[in-house]
Chains A and B, each alone.
Chain A
Amino acid sequence: MVIDTATFEKIYDDFAPKIFKFCYFRVSSKEEAEDIASLVFIRAWDHIAVGKEVTNVQGFLYRIANNLVIDFYRKNKDKRELSIDDPVNPIDVPDKADFVEQLDQRMLVQEIQGKLERLQDNYRDVIVMKYINDLSIKEIAEVLETSENNISVRLHRAIEKLKTLT
């Protein structure tokens, strides 16, 4: 697929909200999610500008986003470990989702975010991609570069785990 600037702007319009959502529920911070989402499109353009080919735009963007989130986790490893050790009083307090205008939506976001915070990373990523970003099992498998069976199993376990959380 040949992508010029106009096409890439259209891609941004279509995917920026989705990529932000993906990052937000992974890192639990509006500011961090916006920074990562911005970087996703910069990295994507850098790739395209040097003449490299992109066959699956959606998969390509989510893969960059996923890698950047993993980088973010690594950089904040110490803080996150403390937070996981004490889930009742986490140091890394989840975002209050104040930017979500409608109250019912904001409450739902907060509730889900609170539960996702307590899931391990490999469960959280599949839940976000499957239910919040509405990707298929196949698309998730492509982003995470693993088998569809693996994703199905991981997703089932993640849901089971999520159901047990109060």
Chain B
Amino acid sequence: MNKDITKQLEKLSRYSIVDKKWITSNKRRLVAYMDQHPKSPHLIRSRYLFRLAPAFLVALLIVVTSGVTFASQYSIPGDFLYAWKVGVVENVESMFVIGVQSRANFEVELTTKRLQEMTELTVSKTANPVIVQKARERLQNQITVASTTIAAAASQDTGKALETAVKLEAALNAHQNVLTTIQEKVSEEAHSQVQDTLSTLQDTADDIHDAIETLKVQNEQSWVLTKTEADLKIEAENKLKSTQEQLDAMWNTMVTIEHTSDLSLEAEQNLEAAQEALTNAELLLEAEVYSDALLEIQSATQLISKTKALFTATQESGTIVKEILDVTPTPSPTINPTPTPPATNSLPINM
């Protein structure tokens, strides 16, 4: 009998041993209880709301952070949102930068932002001298970081590192040009503030220029040492085509701008010189002197970069800078106008 205990138990599982009267009477009592204690619709709603709450919070957080991030885009040192811009937005962006070359480009973009802020601060009448000094130091640090990452990128690809270095130099030169123009238009008392910033830029510009010259030599050496004539021909043809496209795009952008300042005139002259260099490159390609053609293309690229940087420095600057430069901001398909800071902050302009 004991051996069959599991069979007995299983047999028992098939029996319904419940008292059916109890089942019926208990159900009546249960239904009555349920009527007295109904399920609360309010609680149901609350429960669903509670479940949706995290989604609402996340959506709200995204909206708020997106708004703050957008608003902080044009902030300068001393502004309330500036800490968010450099402490949060740029750090988050930095996390998504992968590769030495991309890192170098990213650091140059940051340098361009710091330069833009520095120019804005320099012409701001209300800027705190301590904040201006800190901004200069931050700019110097950023330029050092950008130069270091470009040097690291050069160990992998000299040509690309050279392009990035050219962009960095172009940005520096553009702001030097803008500040030099401003310096001529502001009063004597504001003169020294602009001069201090210009001195900061000059210190680093010389180093970057030297680095570019070194990279150019290395790049030329790499053509001779690592590439055949056929390789150089293909490279020259491809670069000629892409550089011509960049130049055409810049011309199209220039058409939308009113040429009222010396800087826009300079930009136009740069583009004309770039076109001349590309025409030379085309002739050299036909003559099968590929390395010289590449040098001409390099020269055109440098001029286009300078123009782009000048364009950015003037058209993307705040209204105060534009007023001083006498640049009429005109919306273009590629560049958005910047928000307007209060006009009272500007430095006194010599009339």
A interface residue numbers (CB < 8 A to B): 4-5, 8-9, 12-13, 16-17, 20-21, 24, 30, 34, 37-38, 41-42, 45-46, 48-53, 97, 99-100, 105, 108-109, 111-112, 115, 127, 131-134, 159, 162-166
Instruction: Output the least CB separation between A3 and chain B (Å).
Output: 8
Nearest 8 pairs of A and B residues by beta carbon: A131-B9, A51-B43, A51-B47, A17-B18, A163-B2, A20-B18, A49-B39, A99-B19
What is the 8 Å Cβ interface bit string for chain B, positions 6-33, against chain A (1 contact, 0 not)? 1011111101111100110011011101
B residues in contact with A24, CB < 8 Å: 17
Given A108-B8, A109-B12, A131-B13, CB of A45 within 8 Å of CB of B3: no
> Judging by beta carbons under 8 Å apart, are A131 and B39 in contact?
no
> Judging by beta carbons under 8 Å apart, are B13 and A9 in contact?
no
Q: Complex formed: what's the CA distance from A20 to B10 in Å?
A: 17
> Judging by beta carbons under 8 Å apart, are B2 and A51 in contact?
no
Is B99 located at the chain interface by the 8 A CB criterion? no
Instruction: Output the least CB separation between A15 and chain B (Å).
Output: 11
**Which of A13, A38, A133: most chain B CB closer than 10 A?**
A38
Q: Complex formed: what's the CA distance from A20 to B21 in Å?
A: 13
> Judging by beta carbons under 8 Å apart, are B8 and A111 in contact?
yes
> Judging by beta carbons under 8 Å apart, are B17 and A42 in contact?
no
> Judging by beta carbons under 8 Å apart, are B26 and A163 in contact?
no
Q: Complex formed: what's the CA distance from A38 to B34 in Å?
A: 13
A residues in contact with B5, CB < 8 Å: 115, 159, 162-163
> Judging by beta carbons under 8 Å apart, are B40 and A50 in contact?
yes
> Judging by beta carbons under 8 Å apart, are B12 and A42 in contact?
no
> Judging by beta carbons under 8 Å apart, are B18 and A21 in contact?
yes
> Judging by beta carbons under 8 Å apart, are B15 and A34 in contact?
no
B residues in contact with A108, CB < 8 Å: 8, 11-12, 15
Q: A41's contact among B12, B15, B30, by CB below 8 Å, is which?
A: B30
Q: Complex formed: what's the CA distance from A163 to B11 in Å?
A: 16
Given A8-B34, A12-B30, A16-B23, CB of A165 within 8 Å of CB of B12: no
> Judging by beta carbons under 8 Å apart, are A38 and B29 in contact?
yes
Secondary structure type dominating chain B contacts: helix
> Judging by beta carbons under 8 Å apart, are B15 and A109 in contact?
yes
Q: A37-B26, A49-B38, A164-B2 are in contact. List 4 more A-B contacts (CB 8 A).
A: A5-B31, A45-B34, A132-B12, A159-B6
Closest partner residue, chain B, to A164 (CB atom): B2
Given A51-B39, A163-B3, CB of A105 within 8 Å of CB of B34: no
> Judging by beta carbons under 8 Å apart, are B27 and A9 in contact?
yes
Q: Complex formed: what's the CA distance from A80 to B39 in Å?
A: 39
Q: A127's contact among B2, B9, B39, by CB below 8 Å, is which?
A: B9
> Judging by beta carbons under 8 Å apart, are B18 and A48 in contact?
no
Q: Complex formed: what's the CA distance from A3 to B9 in Å?
A: 33
Q: Complex formed: what's the CA distance from A20 to B25 in Å?
A: 14
B residues in contact with A38, CB < 8 Å: 26, 29-30
Q: Complex formed: what's the CA distance from A50 to B38 in Å?
A: 9
> Judging by beta carbons under 8 Å apart, are B15 and A105 in contact?
yes
Q: B40's contact among A45, A49, A164, by CB below 8 Å, is which?
A: A49
Instruction: Output the least CB separation between A6 and chain B (Å).
Output: 10
> Judging by beta carbons under 8 Å apart, are B33 and A9 in contact?
no
Closest partner residue, chain A, to B44 (CB atom): A51
> Judging by beta carbons under 8 Å apart, are A45 and B22 in contact?
no
Q: Complex formed: what's the CA distance from A162 to B164 in Å?
A: 84
A residues in contact with B128, CB < 8 Å: none
B residues in contact with A112, CB < 8 Å: 8-9, 12
- Complex interface residues of chain B between 26 and 69 (CB less than 8 A to chain A): 26-27, 29-31, 33-34, 37-40, 43-44, 46-47
B residues in contact with A162, CB < 8 Å: 2, 5
> Judging by beta carbons under 8 Å apart, are B9 and A45 in contact?
no
Q: A100's contact among B3, B9, B17, by CB below 8 Å, is which?
A: B17
Instruction: Output the least CB separation between A133 and chain B (Å).
Output: 7
> Judging by beta carbons under 8 Å apart, are B3 and A131 in contact?
no
